[in-house]
């Protein structure tokens, strides 16, 4: 308890899934959060549960003025901004590269990359003046390797990793740390929609996704939130410009090698 005591955070996509998990844990650890999300129903529901330590601000992360308003709300309501979590996301356009419409490509890049650019830009303006701050950007294992997501999602998440590493160089002298949270397939509205067709069917999603993991359990938002807590806290003071992968080794270890050399007993 209290690892983020007195801190103030903006969490985009904070109304559901991984973002919701981060908001809940940050509040448990003493922070106050702006839930910056486009989903008014889910955002207001979470605010009703956590207020006054979490406040919902309806935010479309593709809009610079919306993100600025979420940051302003943190400053006005909580007295400042210490942590910016650029986490909101969607799967975006899927399908073959030769038939991907330009408009769908641009919309996907806007939600997944422009959003992180805007959140980073606007938070950096505040953090540079106060000479402190933490930026956490959510990418994906699809941002590390090819073939784990749709083309444009993969491109976008690689861009999130690249942007975070690049700004880490500029911002470090100001006492600002920028790092990337990398989830593997995690139980959330996003994955429930994909694997069950119903974004609220988290129970079946947990079973289906769990079957793909050694040990039979898929990561839950809390597993990602625990990493995001470390990344936001003073315990990670020396971590900058890097990634934390939370997928129980699924993508970094080779399942094929495991099956070949260490068959199940
Ligand atoms: N769940 C996974 O398996 C997984 C794996 C790798 C990466 N990620 C990434 O984690 C992040 C969170 O995903 P999740 O699984 O929690 O999904 P989710 O659908 O459960 O939550 C995403 C949240 O983002 C919000 N959002 C979507 N578009 C928005 C917009 N334009 N403006 C503001 N808010 C918007 C949604 O309303 C929702 O509350 C995303 O960036 C996603 O790409 C998820």
- Six-digit token string for 172: 């470090």
> How far apart are alpha carbons 137 and 129 in whole angstroms?
21
Count the neighbouring beta carbons within 10 Å of the beta carbon of residue 203. Answer: 11
Q: Ligand 1, atom 40: nearest CA belongs to which residue? A: 89
Cis, bond preceding 68 (omega within 30 deg of 0):
no
CA distance 156 to 142: 9
Q: Give the pLDDT of residue 250.
A: 82
Q: Is the confidence at residue 232, as pLDDT, over 80?
A: yes
Question: Is this model's pTM higher than 0.85 or not?
Answer: yes
For the chain, the first-to-last Cα distance in angstroms comes to 41
Whether the Cβ atoms of residue 4 and residue 229 lie closer than 8 Å to each other: yes
Domains of the chain, first to last: 8-182+228-247 (3.40.50.720), 185-218 (no CATH)
What integer pLDDT is reported at residue 188 of this predicted model?
97
Average pLDDT of the chain, as a whole number: 96
Does ligand 1 lie within 6 Å of residue 195's CB atom? no
- Which of 14, 92, 188, 198 to mutate for ligand 1's pocket (most ligand atoms within 8 Å of CB)? 188
**Cβ of residue 188 lying under 6 Å from some atom of ligand 1:** yes
- Label residue 108 exposed, middle or buried (CB < 10 Å: 0-12, 13-18, 19+): buried
Give mean pLDDT, residues 137-164. Answer: 96
In the set 105, 153, 213, 262, the catalytic residue is 153
Q: Are 40 and 58 spatial neighbours (Cβ–Cβ below 8 Å)?
A: yes
Supply the residue whose CA is at minimum distance from atom 7 of ligand 1.
140
Q: Ligand 1: which of 88, 108, 184 to mutate, judged by most atoms within 8 Å of the beta carbon?
A: 88
Which pLDDT belongs to residue 260? 77
For residue 262, indicate whether it is catalytic. no
Pick the more confident residue, 257 or 167. 167
Atom of ligand 1 nearest to the CA of 39: 37
* Residue whose entry in the numeric block shows the structure tokens 């309501």: 77
Nearest to 187 by CA among 141, 227, 154, 224: 224
Q: Say which residues have a Cβ less than 8 Å from residue 114's Cβ, sequence separation at least 6.
A: 61, 62
DSSP state at residue 89: -
pLDDT in tens, 64-97: 999 999 999 999 999 999 999 999 999 999 999 9
Which atom of ligand 1 is least distant from the CA of 188? 20
Q: Say how many Å lie between the CA of residue 175 and the centre of ligand 1.
A: 28
pLDDT confidence of 214, banded at 50, 70, 90?
confident
């Amino acid at each position: 308890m209290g690892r983020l005591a007195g801190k103030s955070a903006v969490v985009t996509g904070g109304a559901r899934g991984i973002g919701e998990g981060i908001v809940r844990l940050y509040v448990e650890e003493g922070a106050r959060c702006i839930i910056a999300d486009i989903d008014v129903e889910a955002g207001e529901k979470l605010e009703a549960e956590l207020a006054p330590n979490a406040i919902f601000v309806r935010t479309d992360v593709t809009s610079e003025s919306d993100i600025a308003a979420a940051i302003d709300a943190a400053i006005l309501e909580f007295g400042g901004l210490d942590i910016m979590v650029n986490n909101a996301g969607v799967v975006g356009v899927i399908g073959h590269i030769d038939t991907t419409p330009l408009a769908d490509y641009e919309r996907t890049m806007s939600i997944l990359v422009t959003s992180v650019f805007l959140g980073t830009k606007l938070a950096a303006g505040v953090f540079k003046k106060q000479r402190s701050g933490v930026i956490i950007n959510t990418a994906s294992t699809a941002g590390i390797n090819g073939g784990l997501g749709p083309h444009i999602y993969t491109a976008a998440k690689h861009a999130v990793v690249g942007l975070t590493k690049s700004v880490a160089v500029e911002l470090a002298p100001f006492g600002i740390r920028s790092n990337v949270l990398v989830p593997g397939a995690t139980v959330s509205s996003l994955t429930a929609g994909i694997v069950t067709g119903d974004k609220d069917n988290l129970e079946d999603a947990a079973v289906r996704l769990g079957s793909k993991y050694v040990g039979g359990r898929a990561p839950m938002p809390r597993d990602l939130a625990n990493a995001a807590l470390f990344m936001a806290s003073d315990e990670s003071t020396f971590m900058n410009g890097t990634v934390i992968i939370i997928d129980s080794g699924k993508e970094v270890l080779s399942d094929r090698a495991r099956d070949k050399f260490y068959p199940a007993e």
